[in-house]
Structure 1
């Protein structure tokens, strides 16, 4: 858990180019399944920002259900992302490289806002 927090802090505190390299370097110390989820969460945030302008600053693949792993692919049906202090449901299918450091394909779907009253039970925060 501490390593995931460290990864998040590095991502939020560095300039874009250095940020990407620090993120990748920190992921080399995480077990492969978690690494793939982290790379996919990062990629889906970037795509959401680019595609919707919602300014996603956090994504989690395991909010209402655990993601499933199939080789280099992770399927997250119960995820969420945060934008401007509000959480939204999220699902995605993400394929990574064999080392799980890069995403080769990603399809995602943004769902409804998650009511604040459910955040605590889902492990979400402002």
Structure 2
């Protein structure tokens, strides 16, 4: 089982994202600025994933996205490549991969490409740190 340390600022930012229907307000921006640049990039790209998949698919309505579920993402300056990502929609987790390019301060996504994969069996959720 993979354990992940949750930083209070990251948890606060994620909570603001998920409880405000993806609203990016001043409080969220302030929370993001407290994160280290790599964590900020992951948070902003995870939010972009939920927004894009939700807008572009009638089948999926993501309420969570994580760039580091199956494998850690690759940080390449202002680009995040996540081949082992997952999103939750309809209480089910699904694999996906994406490439996300952000502004230099990692506060805004300027390009986002993704590919949706297969369902993650519930029997694997604990191994990946996923939840219902």
- TM-score, shorter chain, exceeding 0.5: yes
Aligned to 2:24: 20
Of Structure 1 and Structure 2, which has the larger fraction of its residues in helix? 1
Alignment of 1:81-120 (within 5 A): 81-120=87-126
Work out which of the residue numbers 49, 59, 69 in structure 2 matches 1:44.
49
Q: Give the Å deviation of 1:15.
A: 6.1
Unpaired segments ≥5 residues, structure 1: none
1:84 and 1:92 map into 2 onto residues whose CA distance is: 21
Residue aligned with 1:33, SS: helix
Q: Which runs of 5+ in 2 are unaligned?
A: 1-5
State the Cα distance separating 1:6 from its structure 2 match: 1.3
- Provide the TM-score with structure 2 as the length reference: 0.89
Cα deviation per residue 1:25-82 (whole Å; 9 max; x = unaligned)?
2101000011011100000110000001311000000111110111110100000000
State the TM-score, normalizing by the size of structure 1.
0.93
- What number of residue pairs does the alignment pair up? 124
Runs of 4+ in structure 1 over 4 Å off: none
